A = this chain, B = another copy of it.
Amino acid sequence: MAARAQYEELARQISAFGAVKRGMARGLPADCPPASAAVLTLLRQHGELRTSQLAELMAIDMSVMSRHVAHVVDLGWVERHPDPLDGRSRLLCLSERGRRLMDELSEYVVVTLEEHMGDWGDADVAQLTALLRRLRESFGDCRARTHPHQSPRQPHETTTAPTK
């Protein structure tokens, strides 16, 4: 267990992290807000996903993800196909235009990070990435219960089995 001062300093860094996110978001295409870029990135990484799975991966409410998805579909970057396993759901995947945009976004990400972190060592970048992932996992899925049926405090059973 870390010391009190350690935790307080970490909290301070967490609360100031917004500056980094804004630094990454600046320079995205005007019609591609950060949330859209995140959705596209996840779809490139995972292939086909449902809205609920995307919400799970970003740890936000499905209602929020629904709007993000609507935006990228409206702009023609993502296609919705019927889900053969469940008529209520649809499968999302990148369109050809979406793939082209992702090529640009990927380039933007690398250039921007290189610009700001060019003086970092390879090992430091890798370590930061690993610690960020671990931190996110330590916080688990912190959004409020999706449905009021289960009690608010649920130590486990959070990210299991999207049923698929």
Cβ of A156 under 8 Å from chain B:
no
> Which partner residue on chain B sits nearest A24 by CB separation?
B14
In the complex, what's the smallest C-beta–C-beta distance from A66 to chain B, in angstroms?
Answer: 17
**Number of identical monomers bound together in the oligomeric complex:** 2
In the complex, what's the smallest C-beta–C-beta distance from A32 to chain B, in angstroms?
Answer: 13
Question: Are B19 and A129 closer than 8 Å at their CB atoms?
Answer: no
Interface size on A, residues (CB 8 A): 62
Which A residues lie at the B interface, using CB under 8 A? 1-4, 6-24, 26, 34, 37-38, 41, 45, 58-60, 106, 109-110, 113-114, 116-120, 122, 124-129, 131-136, 138-144
Residue contacts A-B, CB under 8 angstroms, 12 given: A2-B126, A4-B106, A6-B126, A6-B129, A7-B109, A11-B41, A11-B113, A15-B41, A18-B60, A19-B136, A19-B142, A127-B127
